[in-house]
Copies of this chain bind each other. A is one copy, B any other.
Amino acid sequence: MHTVYSRKLVKSLLDRLVIRLSARRNMAATIDDGSNGNLEENFEQVVTMETVVAADNKGIDYNKLIRDFGCSALNESHLERIERITGKPPHHLLKRGVFFSHRDLDAMLDMYEKGQPFYLYTGRGPSSESMHLGHLIPFIFTKYLQEAFNVPLVIQMTDDEKFFLKKHLTSEETHRLGYENVKDIIALGFDPKNTFIFSDIDYIGNSPSFYQNIIKIQKCITFNQVRATFGFVETDSIGKIAFPAVQAAPAFCSSFPETFGSRKDVPCLIPCAIDQDPYFRLTRDVAPRIGFHKPSLIFSTFFPALQGAKTKMSASDPNSSIFLTDTPNQIKKKINKYAFSGGKVTVEEHRELGGDIEVDIPYKYLTFFVEDDAKMEQIKQDYCSGKMLSGEIKKELIQILQPLVAAHQERRKLVTDEVLAEFMKPRKLEFPGLKEPKKK
């Protein structure tokens, strides 16, 4: 199958490569893009903060990513250990390898078993009115972790970063989008007794402790570091350049004095998609220099675009995404029209050879949303054997997503301004396992 790269995509990739090469070599680099159409053959995956592109429709090679990023693989023993500690079966997103990698998870579990529990921190950059299916994944998993370990959670809305990154958005608008997104997050069923959600634009100006941690982090990071880590360039705004410290600060418990009092020793576990790792590599570098535990991380894969796993679902490309505001009919149409199929061209051929689940988007989406392992195994067998047709697996997905999204919309309607205010008020959170720090 011949794959077509749009000029825009190729241009964007080349730009990113030039920037990254320049940053690494600290010199101007050029790339010959008169590549005679051979670009695809030599093309390697790119995973940066701004671009995620796989080499082909099988999606990102996550083993390669683990090697490149220097993080660790999650394996069976982690799943068994989590089950043993929490007394709950591992989440299907763990079993399916959606959460596939970590940094220092073992150390975090060691502390937990010794009676020193962690808090959870995750976040969201509000760049669109509505969140899409892919945005839900880290929150669904975070909610599982929160309930399994019975620990508090802080959720950062990086409305300030989105304002820096989006030329035409005002801070008032990113702030508003943030609040819209918070409603979607709350609708997933978080509990206000141990969940604090905050907008940077609101919270930084209302928390001296948070700002004091930000400046401590900012002093430890140079322009050279953010250039090498994120590919920032000299024409970037000083807001964008300084922002990584704002994303780092919630990993340190003293940023939340209402929640953790004067403690500096409560460790932090961050569930997030793997493209956020650069932020937290910097955070982990800085942590011991300013007297904090390094945060631990647990990483997810990307949620693929409808058009195929070569790119991730993106709110800025509506046809690539199923939004949480979509109607049942929109969901049906988008899946039938856009979802990249691993099915064969004719029914006869499909019945003989079966579908290719390595590239089939409906199959991949089902792995995210079908909890039942037996059912999933059945679908796999039927589809690979050719018993289940491409249209049938799409129908299966439609029948799962339509009620899932509709139920989300119903729950979201219940998120009033009062509920929003309750979650977003800085306050003490329930944290039953937390022991007093050891006296010297």
Is A221 touching B205 in the complex (CB atoms < 8 A)?
no
Closest chain B CB from A22 CB (angstroms): 12
Q: Does A224 contact B (CB under 8 A)?
A: yes
* Secondary structure type dominating chain A contacts: helix
Q: Please indicate the chain B residues that have their CB under 8 angstroms from the CB of A221 in the complex.
A: 237-239
A128 in the interface (beta carbon within 8 A)? no
Taking each of A202, A208, A210, which has the highest tally of chain B beta carbons within 10 Å of its own beta carbon?
Answer: A208
Contact with B along A190-210 (1 / 0, CB 8 A): 000000000001101111111
Is the CB–CB distance between B239 and A242 below 8 Å? Answer: yes
Cα–Cα, bound, A349→B211 (Å): 62
Using an 8 Å CB-CB cutoff, how does the interface string of A266-281 with B read, 1 for contact, 0 for none? 0000000000000000
Is A223's CB under 8 angstroms from B219's CB?
no
B234 engages A244 (CB within 8 Å): no
Q: Which of A207-239 contact B (CB under 8 A)?
A: 207-212, 215-216, 218-224, 226-227, 232-239
Other 12 A-B pairs with CB < 8 A, given A219-B240, A223-B236? A163-B215, A171-B215, A201-B212, A204-B205, A204-B208, A205-B207, A205-B211, A205-B212, A215-B239, A223-B238, A223-B241, A238-B242
Query: 18 A–B contact pairs at CB < 8 A?
Result: A164-B215, A201-B208, A201-B211, A201-B215, A204-B211, A205-B208, A206-B206, A211-B211, A218-B242, A219-B239, A220-B237, A221-B237, A222-B238, A224-B234, A224-B235, A227-B234, A238-B245, A241-B242
Which A residues are closer than 8 A to B by beta carbons? 160, 163-164, 171, 201-202, 204-212, 215-216, 218-224, 226-227, 232-242, 244-245
